[in-house]
Amino acid sequence: MRDGPEVVEETRRLAGRRVLVTRAPELAGPWVEALESRGATVASRAVFTLEPMIDEPGVQRSIDRIQDWDWILLTSRSGLRFLVQALAARAIRLRDVDARIGVVGPRTAAALEDHGRTPDAVAVPPDGAGLAATLEGRVHPGQRVLIVRPDETRKGLAERLEEYGAQVHSVPFYRNRAAEHLAGVASELTGGSYDAIVFGSPSAFLRLREAWGERAAHDLAGIALVAIGGTTAEAIRGGDFRVAAIASEPTPEGIADAVEVALLP
């Protein structure tokens, strides 16, 4: 049996490594704790904010028809949050809505359970393409589907559902905006400040990429870019950058494992 100090050393394999998590500090706690438990020095920064669009006509029309939908699809926990807000403005509880609900991954599924609903479909893998595949044979021709999404989103889910014969309404419930201090976050990444950056969404990468501008290639040289999942990895690669590792699952431990893969031999 190995003695105590050897075990401690093995569990702190990221000692001396500096990691930036692109998530607001009030939301990043579990990620930070998982990385710090392995010895990393971790900073968390918000790189974008979300603004509700629940007063927009498209959202209001979708709520007018809330009991007409056969399926409501949630592409993120944020979408769930803004849907609940829009319903609450009409004194409607999500648990009283008749539609089946599909979600893009386990975190959104858990959040949905907190509102008294068990998801009828959970995407495998946890992205839009996975949700479309999961719904094949379950969404039928003529069914009415509401997709709750941000104002900027990847194409594919709605188009695939239309191929199944569904009547699809893809409605933006919120918009993504760059954080006020984003330029300052970008400036932190010069001079070897971090060994790795964890991106928790495509938006996190795209907002930082905008802030870097022409400096991006220089500022990111030598920094390992870690993605929470395949969709985020695609956004990084689409910006002509290399993905050092992808989390096997979108959990704090999955992210910490990916950072280890990215930084350790």
Give the per-residue pLDDT at 92.
Answer: 97
Q: Does pLDDT of 112 surpass 60?
A: yes
Distance from first CA to last CA of the chain, Å, rounded? 25
pLDDT digits (tens, 9 = 90+) for 1-28: 444 554 445 679 999 999 999 999 998 9
Q: What is the pTM of this model?
A: 0.80
Which carries the bigger pLDDT value, residue 123 or residue 7?
Answer: 123
Tokens of 16: 């001396």
E strands in the chain: 18-21, 41-44, 48-52, 71-74, 100-103, 121-122, 144-150, 167-178, 196-199, 224-227, 245-246
CA 50/CA 48 separation, integer angstroms: 7
- How much of the chain exceeds pLDDT 90, in percent? 73
pLDDT, mean of residues 126-142: 93
Instruction: Choose among 244, 247, 246, 250: nearest CA to 265.
Output: 244
Q: Does pLDDT of 153 surpass 80?
A: no
CA 199/CA 246 separation, integer angstroms: 10
Neighbours of 161 (CB within 10 A): 23
Give the per-residue pLDDT at 10.
Answer: 61
Which carries the bigger pLDDT value, residue 45 or residue 106?
Answer: 45
CA distances from 21 to 35, 54, 261, 263 (A): 10, 29, 16, 15
Instruction: Dihedral sign for Cα 92, 93, 99, 101, please.
Output: positive
Give the per-residue pLDDT at 89.
Answer: 97
Q: Does pLDDT of 116 surpass 90?
A: yes
CA 191/CA 11 separation, integer angstroms: 28
CA 200/CA 229 separation, integer angstroms: 8
Q: Does pLDDT of 206 surpass 60?
A: yes
Which residues have CB under 8 Å from 240's CB, separation 6+?
A: none
CA 218/CA 1 separation, integer angstroms: 47
Q: Let me know: does 76 contact 176? Beta carbons within 8 Å.
A: no
Q: Does pLDDT of 39 surpass 90?
A: yes
CA atoms within 13 A on the CB side of 111: 18
Q: Which of 7-11, 100-104, 216-220, 224-228 has the lowest mean pLDDT?
A: 7-11
CA distances from 221 to 207, 215, 217 (A): 18, 10, 6
Instruction: Choose among 151, 250, 237, 238: nearest CA to 200.
Output: 250
pLDDT digits (tens, 9 = 90+) for 75-94: 999 999 999 999 999 999 99
Give the per-residue pLDDT at 217.
Answer: 80
Q: Which of 29-43, 108-122, 199-213 has the lowest mean pLDDT?
A: 199-213
Instruction: Choose among 17, 16, 15: nearest CA to 197.
Output: 17
pLDDT, mean of residues 232-246: 93
Please report how the helices 106-114 and 77-88 are oriented relative to each other, as an axis angle in degrees rounded to 10. 30
Give the per-residue pLDDT at 1.
Answer: 41
pLDDT, mean of residues 47-64: 96
Q: Does pLDDT of 106 surpass 60?
A: yes
Give the per-residue pLDDT at 152.
Answer: 82
pLDDT digits (tens, 9 = 90+) for 167-188: 999 999 999 999 988 888 888 8
Q: What is the mean pLDDT of the chain?
A: 91
Give the per-residue pLDDT at 9.
Answer: 56
The number of helices, as runs of H, and strands, as runs of E, in the chain is 12, 11
Tokens of 191: 């001079």
Give the per-residue pLDDT at 8.
Answer: 45
Instruction: Choose among 139, 133, 205: nearest CA to 168.
Output: 139
